Structure 1
Amino acid sequence: MVVAGRRYYSGRDVDRAVTIADLQAMARRRLPAFVMEYLEGGAEDEWTLRRNREVFSEIEFRPSTLTGVGIPDLSTTIFGRKMRLPFIVAPTGFNGLFQYQGDRLLAEAAAKAGVTFTQSTVSNMRIEELSGIPNLSHWMQLYVFRSQAFMDELVGRAEKAGCQALMVTTDAATFGNREWDRRNYRSGMDPAFRHKLDILCHPRWALSVMARGIPPFGNLLDFLPADQQTFARTAIWSREQVEPDLHWTHIRRLRKIWKKPLIVKGVMTLRDAELAADAGADGIVISNHGGRQLDGAPSPITILPKIAGKLKGRITILADSGFRRGTDIVKALALGADAVMTGRATLYGLAAGGEAGATRAITVLEEEIRRTMALLGCRSVADLDRDHIKF
């Protein structure tokens, strides 16, 4: 129900953001429409994008009372490492489009909050530029490319930089059809005339990002001649070089050369979760790529109970896509996830206010998780189970 006079805060003070939706409203005010479309849009009719959010309204809580909760402990352990909070910043590419040096700002916010940050292959900064951030728990996401030399070098760089886990994205061998995003451009990456005019209406963003030039994808630069190391050229190269014939053999090969935790992202069936475990993966991410790839795919949280019921304890189970509230994260934990990955939620904070905005997004989620667990009567993440929800 919409009540007259109600609206989300959309000013500049990130500390006034009460929810992720407030940070989303702030981001919409600051970013040009074509940039916001890149952040928020999905594939084709966006059925999956909508379903990712709608499904949470079908899950009810079953609270226990008089349990002497006190202040709930939100920590959990993933791959033998204690995590202060049960969520991880998901890998997202092109963060430099939202803020100058967006990858660094997001990673610094995560490090200060004690949250793991996952860097994308197509981040705008090199692995080495982020690895020195104090107290950063640093994971690296990997797209599988045709060039074995590139793959070996990137994995080697991640190892040398001290990355603690490698996450292989498997659902993007074919690029999703993001129709609304495509309508924003005349050709290639050249925005339509109306969007060029719209940039003039967003001077804070233009001075932060456009004035410095659109940043290229830092991890790809070494494989391009010096005169082709532009954003447009690196974007084209990455699309041309993604391996279309992706198979479990690629996972098994990576398992041989990467000795730390290996995670397969893009799992959507129990059978594939079992194959990931058989191939030597330490973890999986149940994911539909935030509704940006196959439209018509189900929400990961509907797949989660079946996979957790069979593989919980054998393999680390993560989930992403559609998480905007601490209540969403608690529901996933109760359904068997070991932790959740947040993409757009923390990006809204980044886009709204840089590091401070990303920090505020993390704080909002933390407060919501703690409050929800207290109201459920749960002292710790380990206490959450199917008895606390109806689905």
Structure 2
Amino acid sequence: MATAGDVNLFPTEVYSQRISAAAAGAANAGLAGLVITPGYDLRYLVGSRAQTFERLTALVLPADGSAPTVVVPRLELAALRESAVAELGATVADWVDGENPYELVARALRGSGTEPVTVAVTDSMTALHLLPLAEVLGAVPVLATEVLRKLRMIKDASEVDALRNAGAAIDRVHARVPEFLKPGRTEADVAADIAEAIVAEGHSEVAFIIVGSGPNGADPHHECSDRELQVGDIVVVDIGGPYAPGYNSDSTRTYSLGEPDAEVARRYAVLQRAQAEAVSAVRPGISAEAVDAAARDVLAGEGLAEWFVHRTGHGIGLSVHEEPYIVAGNEITLEPGMAFSVEPGIYFPGKWGARIEDIVIVTEDGVEPVNRRPHDLVVVPV
């Protein structure tokens, strides 16, 4: 098994605390326990990067605080070596084809009894496993989202450090972007260079790259194309990836090939002020929707609200997009340890677009951005 010194794992005590908190949450919800199949929830709880297949792999976490059990196909045992399972004292219940793994789950939760058992399952569990599990347990499972969502939303000190490291790494990539932006090069050319830089600066892989030049910048989810960059283009560059032990970076800066015209500069300055106001609004006790409103109100005051077509931000951690979502209607109160993007944008179809994005951490008395690159429109000499 992997040790606590593994670069892809936190110290064992971090996972032990998460297991205890998750079991307590299940007990408070009146559940017999949690059944977590591969995905971000499993990775959060035990550091496992196991994948899900037609054979069941699952962490069974009883709500009574007894030791967890990992149900795993014998041929997949190697997948547990890169996790904290051994150090956590979990029971490994391996099985072979022809045996019923769902019975192993039931046994881990109720011993030799036969009474129906209500458990919560991760929202990534497939119907292929959910239906036979429900049949064996005698009750339809509920989602573990309510049990795990707050645990994953409130980042502990080790997670905050991981996000800081990821933010610094993607800042180093953005510092190199101007050298890639040359008229005549395609967006795909630029994206290839950025991909190499993301890995070179310490990320384990590339999660996404957006290089939106000229009219393509007006599409918030544009990726890259064979369009050639031209003098005068405004270029949106939104990039990120996982950084050991798997926490993601995500940062957007906007570039201008040559000096922008006066109207572009004016509108960008408004966007810059909107992003700054939203970051400044972040603190414990304020609602997520109030942060969204802080950005939107600045744009509305300058007649640009209709060109801001998405939410102001999303949570981030092991997943690029997770709770909390910074959007109108989300009344959740921000708490220390929450981490999310602040990324207002303005998009003019067929013309150009711009976005500014930082990842921020809610602190005890305010906010800590993990991205430190300047927010100005970056003018690239041509």
Normalized against structure 2, the TM-score is what? 0.23
Larger Rg: 2
Q: Which has the higher strand share?
A: 2
Normalized against structure 1, the TM-score is what? 0.23
